[in-house]
């Protein structure tokens, strides 16, 4: 019986030990932020257009400025911006924009 327990202990210790390789994840791409100034009396939804599809990047309250993140577009890529009033009656666009933290879009 003692021999069986000794063998069982050795097997269990061998089964519990394993080599673990730890890697770090690649650094995430920095998100590009830009400023949108809404001079209208109602809020606007701001969209980023790349490859023909619109991605909502945020809402800017009336008469205010807000920093928005363009996670859908890598830095240095030319995109189009679209702002639509929350009631959907007016749309503003800006084409061929290369986003950077210093970029500010004034609507209207």
pLDDT of the residue at 15? 59
- Count of structural domains, the chain: 1
* Tokens 């189009």, located at residue: 80
Residue 11 lies in a domain: no
Residue-range definition of the domain harbouring residue 73: 30-100
Taking the model in full, what pTM does it have?
0.69
From residue 15, how far is each of 5, 6, 26 by CA, in Å? 15, 14, 32
pLDDT digits (tens, 9 = 90+) for 7-42: 766 666 665 666 677 777 766 666 678 899 999 999
In which band, very low, low, confident or very high, does the pLDDT at 64 lie, cut at 50, 70 and 90?
A: very high
Q: How confident is the model over 70-81, as pLDDT tens digits?
A: 876 766 778 899
User: What's the pLDDT at 84?
Assistant: 96
In a domain, 21, yes or no: no
């Amino acid at each position: 019986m003692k021999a069986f327990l000794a063998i069982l202990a050795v097997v269990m210790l061998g089964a519990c030990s394993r080599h673990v390789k730890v890697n770090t994840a690649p650094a995430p791409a920095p998100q590009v932020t830009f400023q949108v100034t809404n001079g209208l009396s109602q809020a606007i939804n701001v969209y980023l257009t790349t490859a023909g599809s619109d991605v909502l990047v945020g809402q800017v309250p009336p008469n205010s400025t807000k920093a928005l993140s363009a996670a859908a577009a890598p830095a240095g890529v030319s995109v189009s911006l679209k702002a639509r009033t929350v009631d959907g009656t007016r749309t503003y666009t800006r084409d061929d924009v290369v986003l950077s933290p210093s970029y500010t879009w004034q609507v209207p």
